[in-house]
Amino acid sequence: MRLIYSDQYDLNLGQHVFPSVKYKLTRDRLLEDGAAQEQDFVEPEPASDEDIARVHHREYIEKLKRGTLTPEEIVRMEVPYSPELVRAVWLAAGGSILAGALALKQSAAVNLGGGFHHAFPGHGEGFCVLHDVAVAIRRLQKDRAIRTAMTVDCDVHQGNGTAFIFRDDPSVFTFSIHQERNYPFPKPPGNLDVNLEDGIEDEEYLAALEEGLDRSLAQFKPDLIFYVAGADPYREDQLGGLRLSMEGLVRRDRMVFEKAKHIPVAVTLAGGYARRLEDTVRIHANTARVAKEYARDDEQ
Kindly report the CATH number assigned to the domain that includes residue 121. Answer: 3.40.800.20
What would the pLDDT profile of 87-141 be if each residue is shown by its tens digit?
999 999 999 999 999 999 999 999 999 999 999 999 999 999 999 999 999 999 9
pLDDT in tens, 147-199: 999 999 999 999 999 999 999 999 999 999 999 999 999 999 999 999 999 99
Overall number of domains in the chain? 1
Which among 133, 127, 208, 209 is positioned nearest to 164, based on CA atoms? 133
What confidence tier does 12 reach under pLDDT thresholds 50, 70, 90?
confident
Domain boundaries, position 152: 3-299
pLDDT at 19 over 50: yes
Q: Catalytic annotation on 118?
A: yes
Looking at 56, 118, 131, 157, which residue is catalytic?
A: 118
Return mean pLDDT, the chain: 96
In tens, the pLDDT along 96-111 reads 999 999 999 999 999 9
Is a pLDDT exceeding 60 seen at residue 298? Answer: no
Region 242-255: what's the mean pLDDT? 98
Residue 14 has pLDDT above 90, yes or no: no
